[in-house]
């Protein structure tokens, strides 16, 4: 069975920003007084700019900014759920492409707003290294817990490229993007989803069909959350949800999508999604002291 394709769709509006204005913070002030997640999607300058940052890459300068926030983050009971170093944008089209992602949980809107007014020990490093980002307050819908770790295994042999194209719905170029990285290391698949129906019922049929195959391939679900607005950056139309799933290796991901049981429900994916972006990422070590 031939699976429907994955469209490299672009947004009508796609903007990244470095510093928020006061109006953007309204998407946080109106939230319930409970824990929530900030989705961080970052693009770095090739080389840092500004006095004192000569010779550093943008990513290196931004790390100095993060190190300067360590004490403040610990003081407000923040929690890093996951951070990833983006390897490729497999599906979707954006310019520039995000290079790093992080899911950072805050204890409350009040805790975040208090933290946002703290410049940290090295505030200049932020603008020195950061080209721009999305900062999206989100509600956790589900999160992987104890006992949900990925089961690492040696990569299985993949079918030939023509068979993969027909079975997965990926183009040859998209498959090459998936395979562009270490073949024997875990890979995180990050998906940004906008649904065609408000209750996501069509896409839910696809999720139900793929679930047993994910388990068989040793995949580990990490996080799913709803997008609730933008503090930094903009997207129109926006996405409804973001998910992160870990696979033991890239072959396991492609074998999941090429499984006949997944192909049989892939029409629900195609019919249920208006916009779908997919990234591959490796786990990134971010030293925030927790």
**Domains of the chain, residue spans:** 16-86+93-139, 161-283
Q: Please tell me whether the overall predicted TM-score, pTM, comes out greater than 0.85 for this model.
A: yes
Answer positive or negative: Cα dihedral of 83, 88, 90, 93: positive
Q: Which of 63-77, 149-163, 182-196, 269-283 has the lowest mean pLDDT?
A: 149-163
Q: What are the tens digits of pLDDT across the range 61-109? A: 999 999 888 888 888 889 999 999 999 999 999 999 999 999 999 999 9
Task: Tell which residue, 274, 201, 204, has the closest CA to residue 240.
Answer: 274
Q: What are the tens digits of pLDDT across the range 218-274? A: 999 999 999 999 999 999 999 999 999 999 999 999 999 999 999 999 999 999 999
Higher-confidence residue of 287 and 83: namely: 83
pLDDT in the model for residue 15: 96
The architecture in CATH of the region 16-86+93-139 reads 2-Layer Sandwich (3.30)
Q: Give how far Cα 128 sits from Cα of 47, 122, 144, Å.
A: 9, 10, 35
Class of domain 161-283: alpha beta
pLDDT in the model for residue 123: 86
Q: What are the tens digits of pLDDT across the range 26-44? A: 889 889 999 999 999 999 9
pLDDT in the model for residue 147: 47
How many angstroms separate the CA atoms of 224 and 60, rounded?
A: 29
At residue 1 the predicted structure's pLDDT band, cuts being 50, 70 and 90, is low
Q: Do domains 16-86+93-139 and 161-283 have the same CATH topology?
A: yes
Cα angle 215, 83, 139 (rounded to 5 degrees) comes to 75
Cα angle 142, 146, 148 (rounded to 5 degrees) comes to 70
Angle, nearest 10°, between helix axes 260-272 and 250-258?
Answer: 80
How many angstroms separate the CA atoms of 16 and 233, rounded?
A: 4
pLDDT, mean over the chain: 92
């Amino acid at each position: 069975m031939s699976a429907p394709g994955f469209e490299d769709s672009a947004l009508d509006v796609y903007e990244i920003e470095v510093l928020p204005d006061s109006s953007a913070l309204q998407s946080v002030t109106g939230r319930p007084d409970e824990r929530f997640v900030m989705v961080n999607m970052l693009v770095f300058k090739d080389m840092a700019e500004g006095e004192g940052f000569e010779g550093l890459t943008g990513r290196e300068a931004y790390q100095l900014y993060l190190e300067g926030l360590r004490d403040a983050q610990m003081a407000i009971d923040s929690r890093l759920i996951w951070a990833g170093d983006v390897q490729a944008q497999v599906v979707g089209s954006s310019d520039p492409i995000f290079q790093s992602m992080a899911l950072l949980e805050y204890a409350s809107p009040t805790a975040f707003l208090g933290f946002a007014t703290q410049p940290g020990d090295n505030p200049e490093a932020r603008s020195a290294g950061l080209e721009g980002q999305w900062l999206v307050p989100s509600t956790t819908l589900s999160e992987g817990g104890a006992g949900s770790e990925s089961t690492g295994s040696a990569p299985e042999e993949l079918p030939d490229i023509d068979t993969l194209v027909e079975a997965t719905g990926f183009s040859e170029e998209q498959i090459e993007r998936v395979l562009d990285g270490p073949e024997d290391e875990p890979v995180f698949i990050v998906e940004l989803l906008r649904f065609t129906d408000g209750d996501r019922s069509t896409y839910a049929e696809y999720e139900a069909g793929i679930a047993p195959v994910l388990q068989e391939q040793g995949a580990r679900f990490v996080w799913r959350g709803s997008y609730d607005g933008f503090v930094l950056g903009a997207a129109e139309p926006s996405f409804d949800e973001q998910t992160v799933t870990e696979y033991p290796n890239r072959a396991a991901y492609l074998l999941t999508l090429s499984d006949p049981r997944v192909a049989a429900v892939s029409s629900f994916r195609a019919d249920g999604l208006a916009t779908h972006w997919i990234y591959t990422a490796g786990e990134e070590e971010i030293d925030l002291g927790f």
